[in-house]
Every structure is written in structure tokens, then in C-alpha cells.
Structure 1
Amino acid sequence: MIGYVCKYTPIEIFTALGVETSRIEPDVTNFDQADTLMHPNMCSYTKAVLEDSISKDYEGIVLTTCCDSIRRLFDILKEQYPDKFIYLLDVPRKVNDFSISIYVKRILEMVEAYEDYSGKRFDKEELFKLFDKQLKERKLEENQELKNVERTEEERQENKINIGLMGARCSKGILELLKKSNVNIVFNLTCTGLNRDYVLVHDNILFSYASNLLNQFPCMRMQKATNRENYLEGLQDEINGIIYHTVKFCDNYSYEYTHLKEVIKKPILKIETDYTKQCAGQIRTRVEAFIESLEVTANLNKKRSIRKNTGDDRMYVLGIDSGSTSTNAVILNEKKEIVAFHVVRTGAKSGESAERILEEVLAKANMKREDIDTIISTGYGRVSIPFADQNVTEISCHGKGANYLNPKIRTILDIGGQDSKVIKLNDKGEVIDFVMNDKCAAGTGRFLEMMARTLEIDISELGPISLDWKEDIDISSMCSVFAESEVISLIALNKEKSDIAHGIHKAIATKSYSLLKRVGLEGEYMMTGGVAKNPGVVKAVEEKIQDKLFISKEPEIVGAIGAALFGLE
């Protein structure tokens, strides 16, 4: 089997030779081997391909000259696997008759190299027969699609969100998540999306084949990349929003995203991943929250399956926010009054924490489980609560909860145990924009817990003592590991704990301010999450934004309130 990564790879050549090909779809949990062979800051997709290449028994791998990272990957594979067919195909950046002729020559050089390697012989007539067969199969598929066109159109119109995909290649996880959601993928223009609907000219088969390959929707390395924007402008009316995927340390697509954000008049969600399975939680939250916000904009009414109250007019709904640090629950009645709330520490299993808080909040309310009409879950552990009737992202729930507590709020800063996020609301409390930090503990509750342990104080003391600072100390690094080293160095210099704590809180405020600026500074402001109980962080953020933060009596339960409100609706 020949593995490949790029849509410009002439894989049909190998098929005509009787060789199976497989597009490499990395599905890795770490880069242990890749980090040994590559620099740690190399493109994470390239490292994932290397991990995949090491774990699977490919006969050979064909790469293209799309970037320096892939060139480095080729060097490593060539060195590691001298007995395999490892080939780097130089793809022209321009598309004209001259560049097509050059590409034909390079394809033939690749064919010759594989013939020498395998002993097989390439026949152009077999390539033509292959495409002729594929053309006949496509016509049969098209006829079948025509029979289903009315049903398909009905499905597209019935409470569906239309999404366009752009950027670097999306992982299988993102595509599967979208399939399970209430969306239609109108187009997939990620860098390696394949469309092999080619018709070849028999008399000049290789030239027409190379022409078809180069005339695909251009990737970012191609000179015709500006056509991407023109194509997108023509599709704006067919989509509700765009999901733009980038890979860490891949700058090309980050530049395009920044440009499209300014010129495209549709909501765009940027998701940046390191191509590991561990990204799944944050990616799911981002994508689902984006879809929820688009549903609001499109005025779609999602059908929610909930239990119906069969008694009198009273109704009780339960919202559970399963976070990484705490699990919070709120019971509301039909008048939107809080009947009871409770907060517990999230243990090793979110499902067990949810079961525990369910029992304890019901006991507080002097109620039984059957008294609850609807249960809505939110937070990172929302999908791990089997007794919930529905789950909604914490982005939407924090917006709903904040609007309930203070309708004047337009911007929410939520600092939880695992991440930080900023949520922008309209005057109805609906989410119109949001940003989240990357997969990193910097500036979160976990970060503060680590700093408190280093200072040998309880986390509850960190905020109050920081208010008595005397020396203005700067903590330059927000990385939890490096910041801890800085704090240890400051302790060695006999600096006061209050001054160090103040420096830590300033660093968090600076990181939060950068998130706030990404959605636009607009008051009134609210801070939610457990870190909102830290007066040192609150004061540092207020100094940065030069405005007051609204802090509710129980900032940890805002998301659970929002979930309960969704249950009432």
C-alpha cells in the first residue's frame, strides 16, 4: 500500500499499476517518536503523519513539496526506511501549459522510480480505462442522486444549519461531530479535500490528467490561492457560517483566516488543533457552541425531546454544569425561581460527580428524582451524564445564565478550572461571538492551584493576600511549568508572598485582556467561574479593562442556571 497526504498526488497512477493507495489520516495520542526525530515545534500534522507512518506497514509514501515541514518529513522517512519507496513529488505552484508540461515530466520521473523499485510497468492505456470506469460509475451515482434530490432538498431546508469548511485538513473527529449535529456541510475546502471527477483526453492522457490535478480548488501554496476568496464570495448566501481549521505551527492558513475574518460577512469559527485525540473535548465545545449560536441567528427552533409534566402547573427543571474542577447544579421552578443549588468537587469520573450532586441538590430542595421534569447538562462532562434529557454547551448556558442574573451584561469572562473563555452577548442574552484559550492550563483555576501550592498557602488565601502587595512584580511566563519556576526563583530571592501573588494575578489579567480584545471590549462586563471568587484576579482584570466586573453571589453556578433555563424553554 502507498500512503499519501496531498490532493495533488497522482494516486490513479498507482491504481493503474495495481497498487492500493491510502490517504494518511493520522489518529494519534502523542508524538513520542516524532519528537525524537523532529523538532518539538514542527507542524503537528507533519508529526502526526510521521507517527502514523511508523505505526503502519506502508510499502511506500509519496509526499509533495507543499511546505518545509513536509520536506523535513521526507528526509526523516528516507533515512528511517531506506528499503521503502519514499518519494517527494515537486508540484508546480503555477497553473499554465508550461507548468502542466513540467508536472507531467515529474510524474513520469516518479513512475520510473517506482518501476525500478517494484519491477512493475506503467501503461497509459490502463490509466484511461480506470477513469473511463470511474466515469460510468459516477453517472450511475448521479442518476441515483437525481431520484433523491427532492428528499435531500427537504432535509436541507428543515431546521438545518449550512456550514462551510476551510483551512488545513480537518480530522475525522471534527467531520463526525458535524455529521451528528444539525448541519449540512455545503463545501469542504480544507487543504487535502479530494475531488477526482476528471475526464481525460485519450490522445494526450498524461497532460489532461496533470491539468486536472493542478486545476483543483487551489491550496494556500498555489499562486491561484486568491481564487479561494472569490469562490467563497459566491457561496456566502448558501451558508450560515464557516468553520476554519488550522494546525499549530502552520502559519499559511492562519494568515488566510485573519484576512477572511475581515472580508467575509458570515460568522467564522477558528479551531486550532495539534491533531491529537486529546483535543476532542475543547473542539466539541467550540463547534457545538458555534452551531448553537448560528441556530439563534437563523431563528431555527430545535425540537427538544423532554419529559412532560403530567401533574399540576408546577414545573421543576435541573441544570447540571459538569466542569473539570467543580460540578454545579441548580433547580428552577416554572417561575424561574431558584429552588436549590449545590456545588461539589468533580472527582475522577464526571458521571459519578453528577450522580452525587443530583442526590445532594434534591436533598437540599426536599424533593425526589421523579419531581424533576427535565434535566439539562452542560460543561465538559455534559455528554457523560446518562440521566440528562438534553445537553447544551457551556458557552450558550453561561450566556443564558448571565442574562438571567443581569440583563445589561454584554461580555462575559469565564475562568474555570481547565480553560478561559470570553462570550459576547446581544441585548437578548444570545451568544453572538466567543473565544476560548488553547489546550493549556495557563490562566485557569488549575494554574492558581499550582501557584498556591508553590507558595504553601491555601487557594482561598491567594486572592486576599495579593491585595496587600507592596512591590510590583511581573511574572513573565504564563506557562504553568515556567511560571512555577519563576515563582520558585522569587521565593529564593525572599520576595513577599503577597507581592508574588499580585504578580500572578496581573499575569492572568493580561491573558484575559487579550481574550477580551479578540471579541471586542464592550460593557457591561461579568466574570463567572470559580476564579471570580478570587478578589485579586477580579481587581487585576478591572484595572486592565478600566471598568467594573459584575460578580454574582455564586459565580460558579451561572452555567447551571443557564442549563436549567434551557430546560424551561
Structure 2
Amino acid sequence: MIGYVCKYTPFHIMKTFGEEAVKIDPHVSGFDKAETLMHPNICTYAKAVLEECINSGIRNVVLVNCCDSIKRLYDVLKSSPDFNFVYLIDVPRKRNRASDLIMKNEIIKFINSMEKFTGKKFNEDKFIDIVNSRVPQKSSKRSDINIALMGSRVKDSTVKQIQDTGASVNFNFTCTGNFAKSTVLMKNEDFILSYASFLLNSFPCMRMVDNDDRIKILNENLGSIDGLIYHTTKFCDAYSFEYAKLRNSISVPMLKIETDYTEEGNGQMKTRIEAFIETIKSRNKQDEKSYNKKAEDDILVAGIDSGSTSTNVVIMNKNKEILSSSIVRTGARSQSGAEKAMKEALDKLDISRDKLFKIISTGYGRVSIPFADGEITEITCHGKAAYFLNNKVRTIIDIGGQDSKAIKLDDRGKVLDFAMNDKCAAGTGRFLEMMSRTLEVPLSEMGKKSLNWNEDINITSMCTVFAESEVVSLVAQNKEISDIIHGLHKSVATKTVSLVNRVGKEEYYMMTGGVAKNIGVVRCLEEKLGNKVFIPEEPQIVGAIGAALIALESI
């Protein structure tokens, strides 16, 4: 078995020698082994490939000189006694006749190396048969939502997450995608040269000098695409430039995702992808009234928002009146928090759960609530509720326990765009909670206390750990607590406004989530936005309100 990572790899050669050619798709939970062999700031894909090879027992690897990180990976693998066959192919960066000749020479050198490694001679007839015997491609399953993938390599698990939403990936324009040309080799021609040209003229990656075909082919297929998901890899900026170019030049909705190839980020990725697909479905769907006029007068529904810090429930009647609500700590298990919050809301009305026609869940724990009848992402729910509470709202700022979001709405309350924080607690409720403990000031008092600031202190680090070190240093300097808290609130506001800028500033602003109860953060946000921010009567239940509204609409 020989592993490879790049579509420019002549894997047909490996098969000719009787070797199984396996495209490496890393499924790793961390880089414990890789970071002992490579620098921590090396491209996470390169580290993930190394980790996968070590964990899965792949000991023969063929790489392509696509970037410095892959070259470094080659150096590490080549110097390791645990790997048997490690080869680097020097693929030209241009696509012309001279490049074909260079690539032909590279293929011949690779054949010679394979002969030495396997002890077998290269069989020309077998090679031509393998290249020409193309396996018929399975037709892509069509759905109401057709998605294109673009950017750097995407994990199979990410593709599955897209498909699990009911969408189909009909075009995969990524490095390991399915958009490739075909060829037929003839024995009476220079078939190695033809094969070299075939490899070089596949859908070009960003390393190619002339990669205009990428956007050209995308534009040619836009009529069959409902949305584009653009993937970038952590510590790799090449594809970010193309995303910036595309963002304002194509007509279909776009979602940018960034991964480090670890499985730990799948939770956040699931929320982003599901919210994006929900946004597309909302745009495609005609406005429709779904109430049954013959329904009973006492129709009751519930929305439940299972967050990292609190779980919130709203019970609503058919007139969209909020009859009951509850806010409880989520605790160690999201299901337990959900059951407790639901019981509290039901007890206020002195009714049982079977009186509810429908329950819709949202939030990070939405998939872990067995008594929910359906689940919707918090992006869609916040958009629905914000417009319901104040139809002037065009930008929602939601700061919860461990994540922050900026959501942009149109004049009908439909989600146009959204941005979420990365896998970091910076600028969230958890960040303020930790600082509260460090300063020994109750979280509920931090907002009012910060309003009495005198010295304008800047907290330069947004990392929770480093910021805590800064706070400890400021305390040692006898700085006033109110000044320090004001500096922390400014840093949260700065981080939040950067999310707002990503979706585009547009008045009127609403703030939701537990941090909206902190008047100090709200004031800092208003100062940076240059506008007032609307705060709902109970900002923590906005997601649950949206879930309840969606439950009503589905009856």
C-alpha cells in the first residue's frame, strides 16, 4: 500500500506495479506525534498527514512539491527509519508543452524508483489498460440544494456533514476533488508524455502560475449551484486570497470554513454548515402560511436552546405569545440541563410535556435532546426571533458562553450572512467568567463596576490564558479594578466588532446572549459601532423564542 495526497500524483503507475494507491484522508484528534517531529506552526494538513501515517501504519508515501510544508513533511518522512518508501515528485507550476516534457521526465524517474522498490519491471500494456479503463462515475445524487466545494483539501467527514443536511455536493473543486479531465492512451504514441499532459491539465490548484480556469469553470457551472462552501487550512493563506476575490464577484451564497484537520472542530463545523444550508433553503422557499385554521385554540409549542453555559426554554401559544420561559445552567450533561429547563417552564404553567404540539431544539446541544421533534441551528433561530422582537433589526450580535456570532438579516428577517468565532473562548461569556474569578468580582457586578473607570487600560491579548496573565500583572501594579474590567470589556467589544465587519455593518443592531446583560460590554460595543444597540427584555431566551416560532410555523 502506498499513500498519496495530491491529484497530480501518478497513482496509475503505483497500480501498474500491483500496489494499492490510497489517497490519505487524515482523521486525527491531535498532533501529539507530529509536533515532536515538525514545528508547531507548520501547515496543519502536513501535520495531519504525518499523524495519520503514523497512526494507520502507512509506511510508503508519495508526495508532490506543492508547498514548503509538504517539502518539510517529505524531509521528516525520508529521515525516519519507520518509513520504507518516500518519494517526492517535482511537478512543474506551468501548463504548456515544455511542462509536459518536464513532467514526463519526472514520471520516468518515478517508474525507475518503483522498479527498485518493488523489484518488478514496468509493464507498459498493463499501465495503458489501467489508465484507459476508467470506472464509470456514479451520478451525483441531486437534491433541492446543490453545493460546490472550493479551496484547499476537504475531509471526507466534512463532505458527509454537508450531505447529512440533505444537500448534495455536485461539484468538488478542491485539491482532492472530482473535477478532472479524462484521457485515452495509445501504445503507438508517446503515451508517457500524453499521461504527463493529462495530469498537468486537470483542474488547476493554486500552486499553478496560471490558475484562471478555477474561477472560469466555477462560473460556467453557477447555474447548477445553490451555494459555495470555501475551505481554507489553518496556517495556509494561499486560498484566502482567492476567497476574497470570489466573495464579491459571484452571485450564489458563500460560506468560508477553516479547519485544522482535527476531529475536535466537527461540532462548530456542523453548526456553520447546517446554518448555511438553512439560509439557502430559506431563500429558495416561497413564503407560505402553514397554520391549520381548524386547529385547537390551545396549541402550545416549545423552543429549547441548549447552550454551553445555560439551557433556555420558551413555551408559546398559536398567537405567538410567550406564556412561560426558563433559564437553567446546562451542567455536565446537555440532556439533563434540557430536562430541567423544560420541567421548570412546564411547572410555571402547571402542564405536562404531552400538552406541547411540537418541540424544536437549537444550540450546541440540540442533537442531544431526545424529546425534541426537530432541530434548527442557533443562527436561523436568532434571526427568526430578532425580527419577531424588532423588525428593524439588520445585524444581530450574539455572545454566549463559549461562542460569538454576528448575523446579518434582510428586510424580511431572512439570514443573509453570518460569522462565528473560532475554537477559542476569547471574547465570550466564558472569557468574562474567568476574569471575574481572577478579579474576585461577581460576574453580575462587572458591568456596573466598569462604568466608573478613569484610566483607559488596553488588554492587548485576547487569548483567555494570556489575558489573565495581563490582568494579574495589572493587579500587581495596583491598577483600579474598575479600570481593568473596562479594559476587558473593550477587548470583548473589539473582538466582536471584527465579526460584525466580516458580515458587513448595517444598522439596526440587536445584542443577544447572556453577555448582553453586561452594561459595560454593551456600552463599549455601542462606542465602537457608533450606534445604539437594542437589548431584548430577556436576551438569553432569544434562541429559544426563534425555535418556538419555527415550531409554530411547521404545524
Specify the code of the residue in structure 2 equivalent to 1:463: G
Give the Cα separation in 2 of the matches to 1:387 and 1:83: 51
| Aligned mate of 2:425, from 396, 418, 441 | 441
Alignment-mate amino acid for residue 387 of structure 1: F
Within 5 Å, which residues of 2 pair with 1:284-295?
Answer: 284-295=270-281
Residue aligned with 2:371, SS: coil
Q: 2:500 aligns with which of 516, 521, 527?
A: 516
Q: Deviations over 1:250-269 (max 9, x none)?
A: 11111110111121122110
SS of the residue corresponding to residue 275 of structure 2 reads: helix
Question: Which segment drifts farther, 22-31 or 515-524?
Answer: 515-524
Q: Could you tell me how far 1:224 is from its partner in structure 2?
A: 2.5
- Specify the alignment match of 2:217 in structure 1: 231
Residue 330 of structure 2: aligned partner:
346
Show structure 2 runs of 5+ residues with no match: none
1:282 to 257, 262, 268: 268
State the alpha-carbon separation in 2 of the partners of residues 54 and 263 from structure 1.
42
In structure 2, distance between residues paired with 1:426 and 1:300: 15
Matched, 1:432 2:432: no
Query: Does 1:260 pair with 2:246?
Result: yes
Q: Does 1:246 align with 2:244?
A: no
Matches within 5 A, 1:466-485: 466-485=450-469
Tell me the CA shift for residue 110 of structure 1: 1.5
Contact 1:409 1:526 (8 Å CA) reproduced: yes
Distance across 2 between alignment mates of 1:443 and 1:341:
27
Q: What is residue 202 of structure 1 aligned with on the other side?
A: 187
Are the counterparts in 1 of residues 77 and 83 from structure 2 also a CA contact under 8 Å?
A: no
SS at match of 1:224: coil
- Within-5 A mapping of 1:8-23: 8-23=8-23
**How far 1:302 moved relative to its partner?**
11
Give 2:119's aligned residue. 119
Name the stretch that deviates more: 496-505 or 196-205: 196-205
Counterpart in 1 of 2:395? 411
- Tell me which moved more, 291-300 or 276-285: 291-300
Q: Secondary structure of 1:47's match?
A: helix
- Distance in 1, matches of 2:416 and 2:245, equals 20
Q: Distance in 2 between matches of 1:295 and 1:470?
A: 50
- Confirm or deny that 1:171 pairs with 2:155: yes
CA deviation after TM superposition for structure 1 residue 402, in Å = 0.8
- Is 1:89 matched up with 2:73? no
Pick aligned residue for 1:221 from 186, 207, 230: 207
What is the aligned partner in structure 2 of residue 43 from structure 1? 43
1:3 and 2:14 matched: no
Amino acid at match of 1:166: M
Between the aligned partners of 2:362 and 2:400, the Cα distance in structure 1 is 13
How far off its partner does 1:313 sit? Answer: 2.8
Please give the secondary structure, in 2, of the residue aligned with 1:433.
strand
Distance in 2 (CA, whole Å) between partners of 1:309 and 1:368 is 25
Stretches (4+) displaced over 4 A: 300-304, 308-311
Q: Deviations over 1:100-122 (max 9, x none)?
A: 11111111112212222231221
CA contact (8 A) 2:31 2:47 kept: yes
Q: What letter is aligned with 2:371?
A: F
* 230-239 or 553-562, larger mean C-alpha shift: 230-239
Contact 2:60 2:83 in 1 (8 A): no
RMSD: 2.0
Please name the residue that 2:309 is paired with: 325
Alpha-carbon distance between aligned partners in 1 of 2:37 and 2:440, rounded to the nearest angstrom: 40
- Do the aligned partners of residues 225 and 450 (structure 1) sit closer, same or farther apart at CA in structure 2, a change above 3 Å counting? same
**Matched residues, number:** 551
CA distance in 2, matches of 1:311, 1:518: 44
**Residue of structure 1 equivalent to 2:475:** 491
1:128 alignment partner in structure 2: 128
SS in structure 1 of the partner of residue 212 of structure 2:
helix
With the length of structure 1 as denominator, give the TM-score of the two structures.
0.94
Contact 2:300–2:356 (Cα < 8 Å) also in 1: yes
Equivalent position amino acid for 1:245 in 2: H
Counterparts of 2:168 and 2:33 in 1: how far apart (Å)?
Answer: 38
2:405 partner SS: strand
Is it true that 1:271 corresponds to 2:260 in the alignment? no
Counterpart in the other structure of 1:548: 532
Secondary structure of the residue that 2:537 maps to in structure 1? coil
The CA deviation at 1:299 is: 2.0
Equivalent residue for 2:177, pick from 193, 207, 211: 193
Deviation at 1:311, TM superposition (A): 7.2
In structure 1, what is the Cα distance between the partners aligned to 2:518 and 2:433?
Answer: 12
Q: Hey, what does 1:453 align to over in structure 2?
A: 437
Counterparts of 1:338-377 in structure 2, within 5 Å, are 338-377=322-361
Whole-Å separation in 1 of the counterparts to 2:58 and 2:508: 58
Return closer, same or farther for 1:216/1:303 CA change in 2, 3 Å cut-off. Answer: farther
Q: With the length of structure 2 as denominator, give the TM-score of the two structures.
A: 0.96
The CA distance in 2 between the partners of 1:561 and 1:463, in whole Å, is: 25
SS at 2:22 equivalent: strand
Distance 1:179 1:277 in 2: 17
**Identity within the alignment, %:** 54
Most deviating of 225-234 and 310-319:
310-319
